[in-house]
């Protein structure tokens, strides 16, 4: 993946929620510059009380859907309820 692809990657990371909708990642724009991207990204997702069922990346240079298993979904549902 080239640097210009990495610069737009955070905009293409989502959680797929239990109702089929998506929560797009929110990130600190200070972590991404015109010619750089921080090696560590802290992402936030506004799930609005819905449990995530998969992590989705829909970038032209990288496309993947990773389903969450039962234990992951349960842990995230508990964390999001707190």
Q: Which of 73, 59, 69 is nearest to 17 (CA)?
A: 73
DSSP annotation of 1: -
- The pLDDT mean for the chain works out to 83
Residue 82 burial (10 A CB sphere; 0-12, 13-18, 19+): exposed
Handedness of CA 56, 32, 46, 44 (dihedral sign): positive
Task: Find the mean pLDDT for residues 19-45.
Answer: 81
Reply yes or no on whether the pLDDT at 3 is more than 60. no
- Residue where the block lists tokens 């970038």: 59
Domain boundaries, the chain: 3-81
Q: Which of 42, 16, 19 is nearest to 29 (CA)?
A: 42
């Amino acid at each position: 993946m080239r640097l210009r692809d990495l610069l737009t990657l955070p905009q293409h990371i989502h959680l797929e929620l239990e109702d089929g909708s998506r929560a797009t990642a929110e990130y600190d724009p200070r972590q991404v510059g015109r010619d750089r991207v921080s090696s560590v990204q802290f992402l936030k997702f506004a799930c609005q009380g819905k449990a995530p069922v998969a992590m989705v990346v829909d970038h032209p240079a990288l496309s993947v859907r990773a389903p969450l298993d039962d234990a992951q979904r349960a842990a995230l549902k508990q964390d999001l309820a707190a």
